[in-house]
Amino acid sequence: MTTLEEAITLLPTKGYLNMDIPEGLNLVDEINRMRKEKNAIILAHYYQTGDIQDISDFLGDSLQLARAAGKTDADMIVFCGVHFMAETAKILNPAKKVVLPDLLAGCSLADSCSGERLRDLKKQHPDAIVISYINCDSGVKAESDIIVTSSNAGHIINSLPEEQEIIFAPDRNLGRYINQTAGRSMILWDGACTVHEAFSLERIAQQMLEYPKAKLIAHPEAQKPVLQVADYIGSTANLLNYVVDSDSREFIVATEEGILHEMRKRAPDKTLIPALTMDEKCNCSECHFMKLNTMEKLYLCMKYELPEILMDEEVRLKALRPINKMLELSKAIK
C-alpha cells in the first residue's frame, strides 16, 4: 500500500500515473464501479474539466459544494476542486474520508495569506472582526470570525453593523468590490486570483466592439477596470443563472472558462465568448490548479483512496466555527 507521503511525491509524476492504468481501461466505467462499491460521492467545482464535471454526483460553486460536503452520508468524499475546498469538506464532515485527485491543486489566493500573518494584522486592529473569503487554508479560517464565498459575501457583510471595523482577507478585488457596493471601508489583505486578474480590459473592449449586443459578465475576483464595464457581476453560480435566465443571446464571460461547459449545456442556444486575457499567445482563462485534476488522477485517487486530506483536530474545530457562521448567515442564499 502506498503511504500518504509517497503518494504526495509520486502523484504529480507521469510514472505514477501510468503505473496502474492498463491501456484501454474505460475510466468512466471504473470510476462508476468504485463510486458504488466504496459508497463515494464525487463533488466537482464548475472550473473542473468537462469530463470530470459530467461524471460528478454534484456540481457547484464554493458555497454549494461546502453545503453538499457537509450533509453527505457517503463514506468517501472525492473532491474535484482545489485543496482549500477539499479541506473545507473535511472541516465540515470529519468522519468522512476526503480525497483530492491532485494534492498540488492549490490556489494563488490561498497562498497569499497564512494564519500567522493574519494574526499579526489582527494585533494592529484589535477591534476589527476578520471576514475571510473561503479561498484560504484552514490556518487562516481558524483566525477568522466569519467565512464568506462570492455568493454570500455582500449579503453577510451588509448584515453587520455599519460601524463594525472589518479585516477582509485574502482577495483584494472582491474586498474592494464589496467596499464600493456596500459602502464599507474594510481593511483589505493584498491577495488576488491570478486567473481573474489576467483579463485584459483593452482586449475585452475590442470584443465588445465585435459583439455589440453581448453582455459582459464578470466574477468579482476580476480587477476594478473590468468590473466597472461589466453588465453583470456575480459568483460562478450566479453568472450561470444569469446566462440561463437572461433575454440576451450573447455573453462575454470574464471568469474561469470551465463554467462555459455547464453554460453551454444549460443554455445551448446562446453564444458564449470567453473574455480575452493579457496573454496573447494562449487567450486562456484556465486555472492551472483546477486543471491539475484529470480523469486518470480521479481514477487513481478513488482506487487508492489517496491523497487524503488530514487535519489537526484543534485547527479543524477553530476553522469550523466561522464556516458554520457563514452557513447560518446565508441560509437565504441558493
Sheet of 129-133, strand order: 146-148, 129-133, 166-169, 187-188
Q: What letter represents residue 36's amino acid? A: K
| Per-residue DSSP letter, 136 | S
Q: Are the beta carbons of 239 and 258 closer than 8 angstroms?
A: no
How big is the chain, counted in residues?
334
Taking CB under 6 A as the rule, does residue 293 contact ligand 13P?
no
Q: What letter represents residue 277's amino acid? A: T
Kindly tell me which of 82 and 204 has the beta carbon lying closer to ligand SF4: 82
As given in the structure block, the three cell numbers for residue 29 are 466505467
| Shortest CB 101 distance to ligand SF4, Å | 14
Interface residues with ligand SF4 (CB under 6 A) are 47, 82, 107-109, 135, 193-196, 221, 256, 287, 289-290
3-state secondary structure of 272: strand
Which of ligand 13P, ligand SF4, none does residue 235 bind (CB under 5 to 8 Å by kind)?
ligand 13P
Helical ranges in 38-137 per DSSP H: 50-55, 62-71, 83-92, 108-111, 115-124
| Shortest CB 65 distance to ligand 13P, Å | 8
Kindly tell me which of 74 and 290 has the beta carbon lying closer to ligand SF4: 290
Taking CB under 6 A as the rule, does residue 173 contact ligand 13P?
no
Kindly tell me which of 133 and 299 has the beta carbon lying closer to ligand SF4: 133
Choosing from 235, 277, 293, 330, the residue that interacts with ligand 13P (CB under 6 A) is 235
3-state secondary structure of 33: helix
Whole-angstrom distance, CA of residue 232 vs CA of residue 252: 11
Buried b (16+ CB within 10 A) or exposed e, 230-255: beebbbbbbbbebbeebebeebbbbb
Beta strands in 174-320 (DSSP E): 187-188, 215-218, 232-233, 250-254, 271-274
Which of ligand 13P, ligand SF4, none does residue 108 bind (CB under 5 to 8 Å by kind)?
ligand SF4
Taking CB under 6 A as the rule, does residue 135 contact ligand 13P?
yes
Choosing from 236, 285, 294, 330, the residue that interacts with ligand 13P (CB under 6 A) is 236
Which of ligand 13P, ligand SF4, none does residue 262 bind (CB under 5 to 8 Å by kind)?
none
| Shortest CB 33 distance to ligand 13P, Å | 30
Kindly tell me which of 56 and 149 has the beta carbon lying closer to ligand 13P: 149
| Shortest CB 295 distance to ligand SF4, Å | 19
Selected range binding ligand 13P among 30-38, 145-153, 292-300, 303-311, rule: CB under 6 A: 145-153
Q: Applying CB under 6 A, which residues contact ligand 13P?
A: 61-62, 135, 149-151, 193, 221, 235-236
